[in-house]
Amino acid sequence: MRVSKMSTSLAGLLLLLSSGFCLAADFSLADLMQLLGQKKSGTATFVEKKYIAMLKQPLESSGELAFTAPDRLEKRTLKPKPEAVVLEGNKLTLERNDGRKMSVNLADRPEVSAFVESIRATLSGDRSALERYYTPALSGGSEQWLLSLAPIQPRMQKVISQIRIAGARNQVKAIEFLQADGDRSEMTITSTR
């Protein structure tokens, strides 16, 4: 009788433990996109480090991010030199500290569009836009996930070998761009709203 209770308890424990693993294994790209798509806006601070082969130290910048679904994204760098990159619809605008502005229509620059969509499509949970430019691979569970994006287009593959976006639930926590030439950038994101 004692062995039977122990066996039942052990079986119950194994079932409980395995159900946790199944939940993580069952977390799909569709699940992630649905979670991310529920968040219609957000703000965050960021610290970005760019590792460039010809430099001994990484270049570091920091500032603020803002996103409003489906297509507005702002990156305001505060240090070391203030500047802003604003994406609204298909228009990308760079605003320098001295007041100069430069705008690009994404329809005219498909490689820039592909780069932008890695972030915008992820934040808005737009799987079809993401798969237009990348082959996505998701690992982890809803509490800690990693979305790896491999560019589909040969022109983009010459610039970026992979983009890794890490997060928890509907929050993006880090973005890493691995360039084809070996350089990389890492952005750590802290949500403020």
Q: Which domains does the chain have, with CATH numbers?
A: 28-191 (2.50.20.10)
Say how many C-beta atoms besides its own lie within 10 A of residue 1's C-beta: 5
pLDDT of residue 110: 83
pLDDT of residue 1: 45
Percent of the chain's residues with pLDDT above 90: 76
Lowest mean pLDDT among 4-8, 39-43, 71-75, 178-182: 4-8
CA dihedral over 123, 191, 105, 163, signed as positive or negative: negative
Which residue would you say has higher pLDDT here, 168 or 115?
Answer: 168
pLDDT of residue 115: 85
**pTM value?**
0.84
Once rounded to an integer, what is the mean pLDDT over residues 12-22?
A: 38
pLDDT of residue 32: 97
Once rounded to an integer, what is the mean pLDDT over residues 29-49?
A: 96
pLDDT-derived band of residue 25, with 50, 70 and 90 as boundaries? low
Cβ-based neighbours of 75, under 8 Å, separated by 6 or more:
46, 63, 64, 65, 84, 85, 86
Are 51 and 185 in contact by the 8 Å Cβ rule? The answer is: yes
pLDDT of residue 9: 41
**DSSP H or E run through 75:** strand 72-79
For the cut 80, the answer to whether the pLDDT of residue 20 exceeds it is no
For the cut 60, the answer to whether the pLDDT of residue 136 exceeds it is yes
Once rounded to an integer, what is the mean pLDDT over residues 85-106?
A: 94
Once rounded to an integer, what is the mean pLDDT over residues 71-100?
A: 94
The rounded distance, in Å, linking the Cα atoms of 5 and 120 is: 54
**DSSP H or E run through 119:** helix 110-124
Once rounded to an integer, what is the mean pLDDT over residues 135-161?
A: 96
Residue 41, sorted as left (phi over 0), alpha (psi -120 to 50) or beta, turns out to be beta
